[in-house]
Structure formats: structure tokens, C-alpha cells
Amino acid sequence: MTLTPTGWLRIVGLLLLLPACTPSDSGALFPVPENLGSVLPSPERNPLTVDGVELGRALFYDPILSGNNQVSCSSCHKQELAFSDGEQFSTAGVSGNLLLRHTPALINLAWMDGYFWDGGSFDLESQVYGPLEHVDEMHQNLSELEQELADHPYYPQMFLKAFPEDGITIPNLVRALAQFQRTLISADSPYDLHIRQGSGLTSIELLGFDLFKKKKCANCHVPDHFTDYTYRNNGLDDTFPEDHERLAWGRARITLDPADIGKYKVPTLRNVAITAPYMHDARFMTLTQVLDHYRFHLAESDTVDAEFRRDDGSLGIDMTDEERDLIIVFLKALNDDGFMSNTAFSDPEGLQ
């Protein structure tokens, strides 16, 4: 996004009309559906404000964040794909090089404990620095970025409104992006209508939901967040080489604990039908392939999760083809079309 003067004036004008927000106001200004917990988590050091969120949204879509002014956060996190990118490994970064892990979808991040597939960042604020500075992503010099923002015709005003004490700083940029990302809430799928109103799922989808629970899917992908926010080894591999700074170690790359080798973050299944391909390395193109992995192809290793063991100790989750297909029907009912079209999450250039 490179906003025209008219586009920027739309944003600034809207901000001037919005009320000031204090931490105590944030719950009312950013409501959360009851089945997700009713309260949007926000750290005391970076409380949600209308001005901070709007600044973060503008920055999210602005290629000014990249070293070549051509790559924005939205280059890899596309709203129409639930803020994923549909690629196995992205080449959208400044270098054009293939990234080594699959781009995750950005959904309900406010509840997450640790970010990136291995939890290498402990909060959204610290997570921002990774893509900003990585040579194969945005490859930005932060000192130069701060000066670019200071020289911009509209960002100084927006930063001062969001952060009146010190205006443009890189920590404030990070805070604003984190605030915006915390508002990316998806909870209006047919499943959610069923939970909150008692209608929304067809009889076939309800059969699939029942099987989803019976076949252990819900043990890791716990409703209503459809993740338990843990790290697990789901039997993708039986060897874990040390190439690329132990990338294949997963969570153990961060903790250095052998018990964490091969474990990766359990992703939410919300909008899963449109966020293919799947897994940290995007090895599966379809949901059928994913479920068949759990049926037939789990790899043995010292850290594979106990949830995937049968009573006799063998690996696998027993289900018929028909049961698999019914579970997939239910998973498609987790699609939240409004999330992909919500203008509050969209490029501000499109504001009317």
C-alpha cells in the first residue's frame, strides 16, 4: 500500500472523529464474542487504543516498512486468505529467496502464547522485529525506517495521536502493529452461529463435529479456539537434522530441550479450508492428505505425541474414508467469510 494524499486524509479525518481510548475502554471498543472468552487480551505495557490500532493497520499495508519500499506485511499475509499466502514457501521478500518455513495465518493472535512455528518470539511486539530485519523478508534498517517515517507527510501526526508522549519511535511502530494484529478476530463462522444461537450447522456438519471430537482432533484443536496453543510433535518426521541452525528441531531450537525436538505450534483450524497448504513446511496440499497422514503415515520418534498412539502402542488414528470426509465437511464450517471481508482489517486505501 502506498496511500495517496486523499487516502491518508481519509484515515486522519476518521481518527480525529474517533474517541480517545484508555485501557479500560478497550473491551468495549474491541468486543470479543462470548465463546472466545469475551475479553480481548492486551498487555498493560501496550493497551489497545483506536489510534494505535488504526496506525498499526496503516503500517501493516505499507511497503515503507521494507528496505526497498516494495514489501509490506500484507505481501505475505493476505486478508482474502485469512492472512495467509497460499504458497508453500514465500518468495515475496526483498531478496526474492525462498523462505524455509510456511507463512502462518494471522487469526486470533491475542490469545497465543509464543509466535512463529517454534515459539521463537514470546509476544507480538517482539515478533515484529523478525520479519522487519530478516534479509529474506523486509530487510529494513530500523534507523533509516525511523527517519523515513519522520519525513513522511502524515505518519508524524498519526504516531503522535497514538503515542503522544514520544511519537515516532521503532518501539511505538512495533506496538502499533501488535495492536492491530490483536484485533484480527475470527469468530463468525457457521460453527460460531451454532454455538451462540443454536443454529448454523447442517445435520451433516454436526455429524462431522461429533466425529471431530471422537477421533481425537479436539484433543489438540480444542473448541472454540480450535487450538490448545501448545507445541506438539505430530509425527511428520523420524529424523531431525541440524541444518539451517537446527530448523528441523522445532520448539527444541528455542528451548534446547531434547524433549521438544520435532514439536511445532498447534495452529488454529479456523478458516482452515482456505489456508492451504498445511503444516510448518506446507507438505500437505489438501485436508484429505492431512487426515490421511494421521491415519496411515505418522512417523515414529522419541517425542511423538501420545495422543497419536493406539492402546497397543502403535501410531495412528482409526477412521474410515467416510468419517474422514465428514470431518472435512465440518472443518469447512469453520470458515468465517466476514473475517476475510471485514473492512476494519482491510487496506485503509479502500476506505470510503
Helix (H, G, I), strand (E, B) or coil at 251: coil
Task: Please tell me the distance from the alpha carbon of residue 333 to that of residue 105, in angstroms, as a whole number.
Answer: 17
The CATH number that applies at residue 318 is 1.10.760.10
Confidence of residue 26 (pLDDT cuts 50, 70, 90): low
- pLDDT tens profile 233-256: 999 999 999 999 999 999 999 999
Average pLDDT for 48-72 = 97
Average pLDDT for 89-100 = 96
Q: Is the pLDDT of residue 224 over 80?
A: yes
Average pLDDT for 164-190 = 97
* pLDDT cut 70: percent of the chain above it: 91
Q: What is the pTM of this model?
A: 0.90
* pLDDT cut 90: percent of the chain above it: 88
Amino acid in position 216: K
Contact 80, 19 (CB under 8 A): no
Task: Please tell me the distance from the alpha carbon of residue 55 to that of residue 61, in angstroms, as a whole number.
Answer: 10
Q: Is the peptide bond before 224 cis (omega within 30 degrees of 0)?
A: yes
Confidence of residue 28 (pLDDT cuts 50, 70, 90): low
Contact 137, 71 (CB under 8 A): yes
Clarify whether residues 127 and 256 are in a common domain: no
Please, is 294 exposed, middle or buried when counting C-beta atoms within 10 Å of its C-beta (0-12, 13-18, 19+)? Answer: buried
Alpha carbon of residue 37 to chain centroid? 18
Contact 312, 248 (CB under 8 A): no
Looking at the structure of the chain, the number of domains it has is 2
Q: Is the pLDDT of residue 350 over 60?
A: no
Clarify whether residues 154 and 247 are in a common domain: no
Confidence of residue 266 (pLDDT cuts 50, 70, 90): very high
Q: Is the pLDDT of residue 38 over 90?
A: no
Clarify whether residues 221 and 173 are in a common domain: no
pLDDT value of position 29: 79
Clarify whether residues 327 and 344 are in a common domain: no
Clarify whether residues 292 and 209 are in a common domain: yes
Q: Is the pLDDT of residue 295 over 70?
A: yes
pLDDT value of position 207: 98
Q: Is the pLDDT of residue 12 over 50?
A: no
pLDDT value of position 18: 38
Mean pLDDT for the chain overall: 92
Clarify whether residues 87 and 116 are in a common domain: yes
Average pLDDT for 104-129 = 96
Clarify whether residues 119 and 206 are in a common domain: no
Clarify whether residues 139 and 199 are in a common domain: no
pLDDT value of position 50: 96
* Calculated CA dihedral for residues 299, 301, 306, 310, nearest 10 degrees: 50
Clarify whether residues 39 and 158 are in a common domain: yes
Clarify whether residues 178 and 97 are in a common domain: yes
Look up the domain containing 79 and give its range. Answer: 5-186+339-350
Clarify whether residues 161 and 38 are in a common domain: yes
Task: Please tell me the distance from the alpha carbon of residue 321 to that of residue 288, in angstroms, as a whole number.
Answer: 9
Q: Is the pLDDT of residue 19 over 50?
A: no
Which helix (H) or strand (E) is 60 found in, with range? helix 50-60
Which three-class secondary structure string do you get for 80-132? HHCCECCCCCCCCCCCCCCCCCCCCCCCCHHHCCCECCCCCECCHHHHHHHHH
Clarify whether residues 196 and 256 are in a common domain: yes
pLDDT value of position 27: 53
Q: Which residues of 185-244 form beta strands (DSSP E)?
A: 231-232
Task: Please tell me the distance from the alpha carbon of residue 208 to that of residue 217, in angstroms, as a whole number.
Answer: 11
